[in-house]
Amino acid sequence: MGAYGAPMAIHMIEMKQTARLVNKVDVVFVVSSDEEGKLGELHLSKGGVDWWPKNSKKYFHRLNWEQFRNVIEDSAPRRRRPDEE
């Protein structure tokens, strides 16, 4: 169950690259939901994080690593690691 007792959607994450250092080519995660299908693609690079919404060929959201940290730390609740509870 998710927040407020609502059932949580199941999400699938697909990684398109093998383990390696991120250099000139982004690491790409395809994010899908059991309810909505493909949600978008998360591209990780040395410079930051790009979110490409599904079916978007031109427009995406870009954050450098400092901006990404601030967004996550300011908006997502802080939790303990499961093995520490």
pTM for this model (two decimals): 0.71
For residue 50, tell me if it sits in a domain.
yes
Tally of domains within the chain: 1
Q: What pLDDT does 7 receive?
A: 63
Q: Which residue has the higher pLDDT, 70 or 11?
A: 70
Residues 6+ apart with CB under 8 A from 47: 64, 65
19 is in which domain, residue-wise?
Answer: 10-79
Percentage of the chain surpassing pLDDT 90?
47
> Does 3 map to a domain?
no
Predicted confidence at residue 5, as pLDDT, reads 55
The answer to the question of residue 84 being in a domain is: no
Q: Residue 2 domain-assigned?
A: no
34 vs 62 pLDDT, higher one: 62
Rounded-to-integer distance, Cα 85 and Cα 82, Å: 6
